[in-house]
């Protein structure tokens, strides 16, 4: 991928020396930028091929993607080692919460929630922690704030499991698997395995 940046730099340098019009530079820059975006985010957002998504995550140098790869492979120790390498405080905190909830350490995960900005991750994981701790009023409070349909569905699935309706929960997850792509599809597949193992 570095070669793309080098090529863009060289082309921009040559166009600058030749003093070409700005619109001409944009004609070259837009395809480069599109190519870079495709290579960096397409698999994690849009691919339905799980092998491609996992391969992308495995080969990525970004610690968050490395965390995600190890997490979905059940290699929690390796996933934990990637967290300190993440630069973004918000992403780092979300990944810590994900890991702690997976380990069943809901009390520690709950302590990290105030560090998150008010967004879907804070509300979703707040609701998920609350339901695991049996805090119904707190669960309802957080669930009310979640607007993302995917996360709301995952909370509904968790409710079905709590009600002993595991078959319905699995059917709902399979329905989600038909709709999603990239990491969201990977999450649904992982969640299905988790439900089966309960």
**Residues 49 and 58: beta-carbon distance below 8 Å:** no
By mean pLDDT, which of 38-42, 89-93, 102-106, 194-198 is the weakest?
38-42
Q: Report the C-alpha gap between 141 and 151 in whole angstroms.
A: 15
Under DSSP, is residue 71 helix (H, G, I), strand (E, B) or coil? helix
- Taken as a whole, the chain contains a residue count of 198
Which residues make Cβ contacts (< 8 Å) with residue 57, sequence separation at least 6? 44, 65, 66, 68, 69, 72
Interval 35-83: pLDDT, tens:
777 766 777 878 889 898 999 899 989 999 999 999 999 999 999 999 9
Interval 152-188: pLDDT, tens:
999 999 999 999 999 999 999 999 999 999 999 999 9
> Whole-structure pTM over 0.85, yes or no?
no
Confidence class for position 144, pLDDT limits 50, 70, 90: very high
């Amino acid at each position: 991928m570095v070669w793309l940046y080098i090529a863009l730099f060289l082309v921009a340098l040559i166009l600058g020396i030749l003093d070409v019009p700005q619109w001409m530079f944009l004609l070259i820059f837009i395809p480069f930028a599109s190519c870079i975006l495709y290579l960096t985010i397409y698999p994690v957002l849009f691919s339905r091929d799980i092998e491609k998504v996992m391969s992308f995550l495995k080969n990525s140098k970004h610690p968050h993607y490395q965390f995600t790869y190890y997490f979905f492979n059940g290699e929690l120790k390796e996933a934990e080692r990637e967290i300190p390498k993440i630069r973004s405080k918000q992403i780092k905190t979300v990944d810590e919460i994900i890991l702690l909830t997976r380990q069943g350490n809901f009390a520690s995960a709950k302590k990290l929630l105030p560090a998150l900005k008010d967004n879907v991750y804070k509300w979703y994981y707040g609701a998920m922690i609350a339901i695991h701790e049996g805090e119904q009023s707190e669960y309802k409070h957080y669930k009310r704030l979640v607007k993302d349909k995917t996360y709301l569905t995952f909370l509904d699935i968790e409710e079905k499991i709590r009600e002993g309706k595991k078959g319905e929960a699995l059917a709902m997850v399979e329905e989600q698997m038909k709709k999603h792509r990239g990491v969201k599809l990977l999450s649904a597949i992982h969640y299905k395995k988790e439900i089966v193992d309960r």
